[in-house]
Structure formats: structure tokens, C-alpha cells
Structure 1
Amino acid sequence: MKIGVKIWPDKVDYALKIAGHADFIEVMAKRGCDFSFLSEIDLPFVVHAEHGDLGINYADSAKLALSRESLGFAIQLADRLEARAIIVHHGYLDGTPNTKAENTLRFLKEVRDNRILIENILVKEKFNGIEAEHPFSTPEKMKFLMEQTGRGFCLDLSHAQASSAALGLDYMSMLEQFMRLKPRHFHACGGVEGEPKDMHLHLWEGNLNIGAFRRMLPKAAWVTLETPCDLEGQIRDIEIMRG
């Protein structure tokens, strides 16, 4: 198993410190940032494309040009870093006529890059104070999205738990269903069972069954930790995930 950490480009000093303890770095491809510090890190990379918190929505036809620019930047950064994967969020519906699930399908079909992996995200989330729905949050709908676009899958433990809570389902059962989609990458953090939100806690915080999740993983799994960026805490997270 390879265990990495998620880094935003403003965390330069921290990235250089935690790199000595991780197997790889997953970096957020935020446009307008300086990524030159990554040349000092002698590790493999994974790239995460911008998402809803940064104004990107693949389901919004009015933002098509912006989506293309954003994902294009992520692809260029992945080329530069020789990244093995590019993680994307599939977009959300906010009740406006421009946002439709079909727009996500169309957009992800047009981008021909086998490194792109679609991450499962929350059933509902707020953007700019507006509650929005993510249309492909369940295993069944993710399977449909993958089949229609030809893209691979990134399984996020915390998102699966939050989605199962929102739908009143058992989260371990949902994880098992997601595992049948043969994820090519994984995200993990701590959380609270039954809470319909992504909490990004350390692995020892909350009450998610991290051991059961770890036992589900293939031996060659690549797992990104999305836990708080404090050195001692993330070193402990890495040790827990290694088992």
C-alpha cells in the first residue's frame, strides 16, 4: 500500500516536511499558484482538479469554458509532474436551468485522458449558501457515470459515510458496493458515523471503522490522507493506515 497526503499549493513549508514520511503527494491544481516547490520533493504525485469550493461545476453549462480551463490546467500540471492520476469532482445541481447531470456526462466524455478518476462526493452540499445536489453520489449512479464516460473511480471513505447518512443507509454496505467498482485511488480521513457531512478529522478521531476500511483495500492501493495538516498528527495517521 502507498500512503500519501493532500497538499494545497500554499502549504509549501509543510509539504517539504511531511514529504519525508509519505509515499506520494496529492496536490490541488489551483490556478494562479506557484508549484515550483514540488521540484524539491522526490516522490510520485497525484493531481486533484479544482472543484465546487473553487467555483468549478462540470454540471453547469454556463461554466463550460471555465471547466475546460480548470481541468486543462490540472492535466498540464499532471504532465509536468508525471502524475499517475487526476482526481475530479463531477459537479452539482443548484436548481438553476444551467445545471444538469447530462452536462457532466457530456463534459467528461469530451476529455480524453485515462488518468482522470471521478471521486464520489456528498449527496448534498452548500455552495455560496445555496444547497446543491450531487447527482452521482451513490454506487449505482457512479457506476452509470463511469460506464457513460469511460472514466475510472476514486473512492472517498468520508464522502461515502456522509452520503450513506444522508440517505439513511449503512455506510459499510455502501463502501462494499463502491468497492465493486474497482477504485483506482482512495481518499481517507476520520469522521463520525451518521453525520451527513465531510469532517476531515484525523483517523483516530470520530468513530469510523478505519480498520475495516483498510482490510477492504487491495495490497497495491494508493491512499491519500485528507486529514488536518499538522506534522505529528499526520505521521500518526500514516502509521494507523499502515496498520
Structure 2
Amino acid sequence: MNYKIGLKLWSLNENYIVPAIDLFEREVYDYIELYAVPNSLEMLPKWKTLAKEHKIKFAIHAPHFSSGLDFSNPNKLKHNLMLCDEVKRYSNELEALYTVFHPGIGGSLNESIRQMKMVQNLKFAMENKPYIVPMNSGEAFCIGADFNSIARILDEVGCEFCLDAGHALCSANYQGLNPYEYIAKLNELNPKIYHISDNDENAKLDAHMHFGDGSIDLARVLKLLRGGEFLAIETIKDSKENLDDFAVDCKNLRELA
């Protein structure tokens, strides 16, 4: 496998630090993609210790809609930029391999582009989204869920691209497109980063199933994800004490490649 494999953790996941060190030393994965939970900077020194003492590399995933960052909402501009400042702290102090943002949910593409262009002094990538996400009031439409919107963001913002294969499959199913052909088309946008998990092949809503628990043809997907450098595994964690399920997912993924 030509990718560097990433372990997805949250900045508050102190409970996974010891097993993460163990799996890294066993060369199960190559880096940690850390979701920077808002107001969690007190945890940053613990992750810096992993970087310094254990030589673990980090990438950063910025907060998204569920954590309060929504570039598509003009009323949240000040709050969004405040959260971006926290993301910069994580990215700079951990010397991040990359930093990923979601474009937003429920607002306008123009506003997402406007606000993303305001993120200064930080090289980042945008991640494609499913077409819809469930909300308390029903469903909301995502920014960056179709090819033309993604291409426009990349062009006008000047950022890199993170191709989430699971998001792409859900979006394609909603649009009535062949999901594998849609993933291949998105790969033409030269992503540097990939995210992957399993799901029902016909799903329209995102899930983060373990490999083999869904029906996606993962071997076929991996053949489509060519040209990027990083691949973060975004499957669920079954235990709060260990990362054994992640180790199994890594093994299964490597056997498919």
C-alpha cells in the first residue's frame, strides 16, 4: 500500500494515548489525524509529548458543523474564525502533515468560499461531503457535496482536496449517480488526502462501519484512490480502553490493497 495510514482520534481522547503509542511502535499505522475539539487546547501538550518522545506525526481535522464551525453561515463568521485560530495552534505546534476543513452545512456556497478565503496563514484542504445529513428538524444539505461545488471551492479558495470515499458514495447515491464512477471523477481533482470507512453500498447517509460490516466494494474503491499520499481510517471505535478494532481494520484494509 502506497499510502501513509492514519488513525483518527479526537483531541479529548486521552484514553487512547497508551494504545496509540503501542500500535505506532508496532507499525500498525503511520500518523494520527487529530480532530481539534473546540476549547481543548489544554490537551495540546499531551499530544506534543507523543510527537516529541515517540516521533508520531500528526494531521489536524478542524471542528465541523456538529462542533460549531460552519463556514456557510454568515452569522457565525466571528465564531468560525476564533475556532480557526485554535486549529492553527494545533496545526503549528504539532507541525501537522495537513489540516482539513468541512465547507459547511445548510448555508450558501458563496458564503463558504468567502469565509474559507479569510483563513490566513494556514495551508489546508477541504473535504467533500455527503449530499444530506440528518438534523433534529429533518435533513440539511451540505456544501461541497457535488463535483462542481467542490471544484469551485478548490479553485477559488486555492486549497488542497481531501477525498472522503464514504461521503462521495452517499452523495452519488443521493444524486442518482454510480458511486464508483463518482469517486473516480472526484479523484481527478488530485486529492492529497483520503478518508475511508465502510457503509451500505446504497446508503445516502454517512456511516463509519468497520471494513466488512458494510457492502461497499472496498477493493474497488482502493483501486480508484490513486495519486494521494495520506489515507485516514474513519471507522468507529468499539472500546474506550483499546484500539484493537482499529488494528483489525488496518489489517483488513492492507489485505485489500
Alignment match, 1:9: 11
Structure 2 gap segments, 5+ residues each: none
Q: Could you give the per-residue CA deviations for residues 126-174 of structure 1, whole angstroms, max 9, x where no partner exists?
A: 3443522113211222011111111111000110111111111110011
CA contact (8 A) 1:138 1:163 kept: yes
Matched, 1:133 2:109: no
| Bigger mean CA offset, 33-42 vs 84-93 | 33-42
Partner of 2:48 in structure 1? 39
Alignment pair present for 1:236 and 2:248:
yes
Residue 78 of structure 1: aligned partner: 91
Output the amino acid matched with 2:246: Q
The corresponding residue for 1:191 is 199
Tell me the residue number matched to 2:208. Answer: 200
Does residue 79 of structure 2 align to residue 66 of structure 1?
yes
Q: Contact (CA 8 Å) 1:120, 1:137: kept in 2 or not?
A: yes
| Aligned AA (1:183) | P
Residue 24 (str. 1) matches residue 31 (str. 2): yes
Kindly indicate whether the alpha-carbon contact (under 8 Å) linking 1:29 and 1:50 is maintained by their aligned counterparts in 2.
Answer: yes
1:51 aligned onto 2:59 = no
Q: Is the 8 A contact 1:84 1:115 kept in 2?
A: no
- Cα gap change, 1:238/1:133 in structure 2, threshold over 3 Å: closer, same or farther? same
Question: Which residue in 1 is equivalent to 2:129?
Answer: 121
CA drift at 1:113: 4.3
One-letter amino acid of the structure 1 residue matched with residue 248 of structure 2: R
The alignment covers a number of residue pairs equal to 238
Q: Tell me, in whole angstroms, the C-alpha distance in 2 between the residues paired with 1:38 and 1:229.
A: 19
Q: Which 5+ residue runs of structure 1 have no aligned equivalent? A: 94-98
Residues 26 and 236 (structure 1), Cα distance of their counterparts in 2 relative to 1, 3 Å cut: same
Q: For each residue in 1:168-224, what CA deviation from the matched residue of structure 2 results, as whole angstroms up to 9, or x when unmatched?
A: 111001100110000011111111111111110011210111111222333762111
RMSD over equivalenced CA pairs, Å: 1.7
Partner of 2:117, secondary structure, is: helix
**1:149-188 matched pairs, under 5 angstroms:** 149-188=157-196
Cα distance in 2, alignment partners of residues 25 and 87 from structure 1: 13
Q: Secondary structure at the match of 1:57?
A: coil
Is 1:227 the counterpart of 2:239? The answer is: no
Cα distance in structure 1, aligned partners of 2:108 and 2:199? 30
Q: Separation in 1 of the partners of 2:63 and 2:139?
A: 19
- Secondary structure in structure 2 of the residue aligned to 1:71: helix
Matched residues in 1 for 2:17 and 2:45: separation? 12
Q: Which amino acid aligns with 1:188?
A: I
Alignment partners' CA distance in 1, 2:199 and 2:18: 27
2:100 aligned residue: 87
Shift of 1:52: 0.6
